[in-house]
Amino acid sequence: MERLIIKGGNQLHGEVECSGAKNAGLPILASTILFDDPVSVFNLPHLKDISTMLELLNSMGSMIRFEEDDGIEIDSSSINNPEARYELVKTMRASVLVMGPLLAKYGKAKISQPGGCNIGTRPIDFHLAGLQQMGANITTDSKFIYLETENLKATHFKFPKISVTGTENLIMASIFCDGTTTLENCAREPEVEDLINFLNSSGAKISRTDDSTVIIEGVGTLNRNNWSILPDRIEAGTYLVAGAITNGHVKVNGIQPTLLEPIIEKFKEMGAVISTGKDFVEIDATLTDLKACNISTEPFPGFPTDMQAQFMALNTISKGESTIVENVFENRFQHVVELKKMGADISLNGSSAMINGVANLVGSSVTASDLRASASLVLAGLVGKNRTEIEDIFHIDRGYECIEEKLNKLGAEIVREPIV
């Protein structure tokens, strides 16, 4: 086990490179199951979740080859064991993304029950309802979900609630169905678009008739392809918050500003100076104390739930009162109790958090609980007086590539040490 030790109080200045998006890499890696030929994927972030997905594909029979310039070639044409084992699903819920492609290509899948996680029960009932409507026979026991089908059929399915991986799973399941599949109330996250663009560039026929309806015309096969994963807007947003919370000046390179629109709007509302270019976003918070902002998380193009914890940390030391409403997950305030240990003034009422800005936070020993909650604790540690120790940092390594190296390059003082 390891922990991060952060010496707070440094203003961050400089430039940081954005990595590839974890939440685009995961569905695109899962979609390689659909191909008869090897697929090369580039710009994958070096993260635990990505290695878990590669381990899962390999455990099913995919051949993984690491290429030069950081590419990975995946040949999933000879999968002989369409099963997602417990120890892999337990560590990464996104393993459920292999369900759709396995059914589409091999007609069967065995997935360990994903269970809940710290941010909510996170059922996959919409995934299963859609696959069932497409003709999958689904049975379950306490450990596994068993799915099989002679032939998935094109259908017209409406998601009861927007689901990112649900949308991705059913798009992948529909790729080879004869006829036209219509999916309504689909997610519009850029990571879903990256999967659609990748599959279309490989010969699939996927289109949107309106913002949230996706149409898939079945095709016979997909062609060999290479793809570079789009940049991670949540990582980029997190480093911009690091610049804001330390009253610093940070430029994130390798990110298109259009991916960050709702986040950029909030920074401007708070009084930060934002400049953008084709592939960078820069924040200057040196000139003023930021004013706290109200936030209500929504599916894209609304304010992303994956940035909620990070902006809560920022609001705790910004001027005035603010309210954050978490509309996507039912338990995504695990970071509140830890931020309060550092002196934050936050009160909770159901899905709302009321924050009163304080003059400063004080370093403390805190524990990470989930990926984005741990990011918010790192951000709070950057400004917490004296020293902050963060335990259970395996959560953060699932979604942030070398976070302490990137932040130390901007002037932070963070050390990773083993807990003996």
The catalytic residue positions are 117
Nearer to ligand EPZ, 114 or 381 (CB): 114
- Residue from 45, 166, 231, 257 touching ligand EPZ (CB under 6 A): that is 166
Stretch that binds ligand EPZ, among 52-60, 123-131, 132-140, 174-182 (CB under 6 A): 123-131
Q: How far apart are CA 228 and CA 409, in angstroms?
A: 26
**303 touching ligand EPZ, by CB under 6 A:** no
**195 touching ligand EPZ, by CB under 6 A:** no
- Residue from 176, 280, 311, 329 touching ligand EPZ (CB under 6 A): that is 329
In the complex, least distance from residue 154 CB atom to ligand EPZ, rounded to whole angstroms:
21
In the complex, least distance from residue 166 CB atom to ligand EPZ, rounded to whole angstroms:
5
- Residue from 2, 36, 125, 345 touching ligand EPZ (CB under 6 A): that is 125
Nearer to ligand EPZ, 97 or 272 (CB): 97
Cβ atoms of 178 and 149 closer than 8 Å: no
Summary count for the chain: helices (H), strands (E): 14, 24
Indicate the DSSP class of residue 11: P
Give the distance, in angstroms, between the CA of residue 319 and the centroid of all CA atoms in the same chain.
29
**192 touching ligand EPZ, by CB under 6 A:** no
Q: How far apart are CA 371 and CA 118, in angstroms?
A: 10
**395 touching ligand EPZ, by CB under 6 A:** no
Q: What is the DSSP string of 275-332?
A: EEETTEEEEE-SSSPPBP--EEB-STTSB-GGGHHHHHHHHHTSBSEEEEE--S-TT-
Burial of residue 278, with CB atoms counted within 10 A of its CB: 0-12 exposed, 13-18 middle, 19 or more buried: exposed
Size of the site for ligand EPZ (CB under 6 A): 22
In the complex, least distance from residue 358 CB atom to ligand EPZ, rounded to whole angstroms:
27
Adjacent-strand bridge partners of 167: none
**179 touching ligand EPZ, by CB under 6 A:** no
Burial of residue 411, with CB atoms counted within 10 A of its CB: 0-12 exposed, 13-18 middle, 19 or more buried: middle
Residues that bind ligand EPZ (CB under 6 A): 23, 26, 94, 120, 122-127, 161, 163-166, 305-306, 328-329, 371-372, 399
